Amino acid sequence: KRINVKEFLKTDNRNWDWVLLDPPYNLMRKIKTKNYKIQQPFTADVELRNLIRSYCIRYTKNILWLDYCAPMVEGFKRRKLWLLLPGGFHNVRVLSWLIKPEEWKKNIEARYRFDEFVEECYRE
């Protein structure tokens, strides 16, 4: 189902564990994006960037962001980065995992609890 992204961000209020962002880049021909109502690259659309930032701060814990660079969202930390090397004449892209600091802390605490559990199993 094709919907207007800006309208979705303004009206949706569901909580998400993950949000995947894969913005359009290199809008050479606007015909390609006519059905999506996109008129400019994501980086130039300040209104959309602000909507995404405020939406993510309110409604998600983790962001996977595929882009040419490694962008950040205020209120999130970078957890991990991967390079996408598609080969041929395709551009290299970066997949960023952004996480809220409180979620990062929960993940670290859970990891330590698991490590302690494994150590106890080896002691027995």
Structure confidence by residue, pLDDT tens digits, 9-56: 999 999 998 888 877 655 555 565 566 556 666 667 788 888 988 999
Determine the pLDDT at residue 59.
92
Determine the pLDDT at residue 108.
67
Determine the pLDDT at residue 69.
77
Determine the pLDDT at residue 73.
83
Provide the residue count of the chain: 124
pTM above 0.75, yes or no: no
Residues 49 and 11: their CA atoms lie apart, in Å, by: 16
Determine the pLDDT at residue 118.
75
The ranges assigned to domains in the chain are 5-123
* Residue 25 backbone dihedrals phi, psi, to 5 degrees: -130, 170
